Structure 1
Amino acid sequence: MVGGFPRKEGMERKDVMSKNVSIYKAQASAFEHHAAPDCKVLVVANPANTNALILKEFAPSIPEKNISCLTRLDHNRALGQISERLNVHVNDAKNVIIWGNHSSTQYPDVNHATVTTSSGPKSVRELVANDNWLNTEFITTVQQRGAAIIQARKLSSALSAASSACDHIHDWVLGTPKGTWVSMGVYSDGSYGIQPGLVYSFPVTCEKGEWSIVQGLKIDEISRAKMDATAKELIEEKSLAYSCLN
């Protein structure tokens, strides 16, 4: 689902909310009347998480597990930053996490990420050996990449978003490699203390066309605060979206 009112330079996400709510309510009605209930839906148009939530609310015959939104673009950008910093092939880095909203509050988390080396997998934090960079510039670069592209080309991401959408669907349908997870915006079931009823980006593995949230990852205090901050924004977006429906 790439159709939506586009964010333009100088616009905040909330500026486009009311327009996208009406678009996704109408598209949900079309899904409800005409789509197969086992179809898989990927929402790309921003605000992607809340657009996906509206689609889910107004297409109740489609299971919530079949509706997701794109945070793979941010996931790929995070891997790209790591590979560039360490001068390794991007395919050798894995298991970063994008938590939360596809917005500037998202939290790119490398605490569980590894890089394959000649002596086996090693922690990204150990290899980078610069917590200050990982906790500041790395995070803001991933968070602000979309805005930087809009500033540069006066339009939002195109080819990188398309490539990431292909990656998202590929792994959702065909499965993730063993020991590897990816980031997807999915309907929260309460995992990691995230309020149910939000479409939130989690680390997931995929098998036989189904995604599952990776469980049991240790969350430190810094991560907890950042995960809660992006959840708070999604709660506010949800409230704003519902107010636009009245």
Structure 2
Amino acid sequence: AMEVITDHEWLRGEFITTVQKRGAAIIAARGKSSAASAANATIDHVKSFLHKTPEGQWFSAAVASDGSYGIDEGLMFSVPLVSDGQGNYSVVQGLSWSDFAKEKIQATLEELRTEKETVADLLR
């Protein structure tokens, strides 16, 4: 996105805030639940797993980490994936991230680690 959208301040600020508040924006615009939007996103997500990923493309989805990209093994985390169209997926290796992306990934990782620790007693 950074190559296509040249307003990096907007991308790092207003865009992220807008995405974070999209559920409330849908409710405000439609006067109804954002569940239909979430359901549509879920359908698109499942299709990404069921259909072969076109060559040179990938999609992002939360799966149990295999340790790639420094994510704790077994932690549910969104990573770049490709699907073989037979229900199998693999993590895309070797992608490089901007410092900004690394910062956001690290913040998310720390948040998930904290959440995992918070409920650890409930999982025993």
- Determine the C-alpha separation between the residues in 1 that align with 2:20 and 2:79: 16
Give the equivalent residue in structure 1 for 2:98. 220
Q: In the alignment, which of 55, 65, 77 is matched to residue 188 of structure 1? A: 65
Please show how residues 137-152 of structure 1 align to structure 2 within 5 Å. 137-149=14-26, 152=28
Quickly say closer, same or farther: Cα 1:154–1:162, change in 2 above 3 A. closer
Which stretches in structure 1 are left out of the alignment for 5+ residues?
1-109, 111-124
- Give the aligned residue type for 1:218: S
- 2:52 is aligned with 1:175: yes
Cα-to-partner distance string for 1:32-90 (whole Å, 9 max, x where unaligned):
xxxxxxxxxxxxxxxxxxxxxxxxxxxxxxxxxxxxxxxxxxxxxxxxxxxxxxxxxxx
Give the equivalent residue in structure 1 for 2:11. 134
- Determine the C-alpha separation between the residues in 2 that align with 1:149 and 1:244: 34
May I ask how many residue pairs the two structures share in their alignment? 121
Give the equivalent residue in structure 2 for 1:243. 121
TM-score, reference length from structure 1:
0.45
Give the equivalent residue in structure 2 for 1:27. none
- Give the aligned residue type for 1:244: L
- Determine the C-alpha separation between the residues in 2 that align with 1:239 and 1:127: 39
Deviation of residue 130 (structure 1)?
Answer: 0.9
- Determine the C-alpha separation between the residues in 2 that align with 1:176 and 1:241: 35
Deviation of residue 244 (structure 1)?
Answer: 3.2
Query: Structure 1 runs of 4+ off > 3 angstroms?
Result: 147-150
- Give the aligned residue type for 1:219: W
- Give the aligned residue type for 2:61: M
Kindly, what percent of the aligned residue pairs are identical? Answer: 46
Quickly say closer, same or farther: Cα 1:154–1:160, change in 2 above 3 A. closer
Deviation of residue 205 (structure 1)?
Answer: 0.9
